[in-house]
Amino acid sequence: MKLKVVVHEADEGGYWADVPAIPGCATQGTFEELLKNLYEAIEGCLSVNVEKPKRTTKDRVLEIAV
């Protein structure tokens, strides 16, 4: 799997990065630490077990474009 990562320079020094394809997936550190931390952050974000929400017959499913 290939993912794009956006790396930012932190105001206080070092770097932080986020993974746009995985909302909430971000990490920080020196550049060398950042690369290691990214693998751990992505693995952690993808290993979360999310249960499917239960639906009733009264619920509606909509798809919208914004």
Query: What distance in Å separates the CA atoms of residue 15 and residue 38, rounded to the nearest whole number?
Result: 11
pLDDT in tens, 15-51: 999 999 999 999 999 999 999 999 999 999 999 776 7
Half-sphere CA count of 34, side-chain side, radius 13 A:
18
* pTM beyond 0.75: no
pLDDT at 29: 96
| 5 vs 64 pLDDT, higher one | 5
- Domain borders along the chain are 6-46
| 14 vs 57 pLDDT, higher one | 14
What are the start-end ranges of the E strands in 1-66?
A: 6-9, 15-18, 26-29
| 60 vs 25 pLDDT, higher one | 25
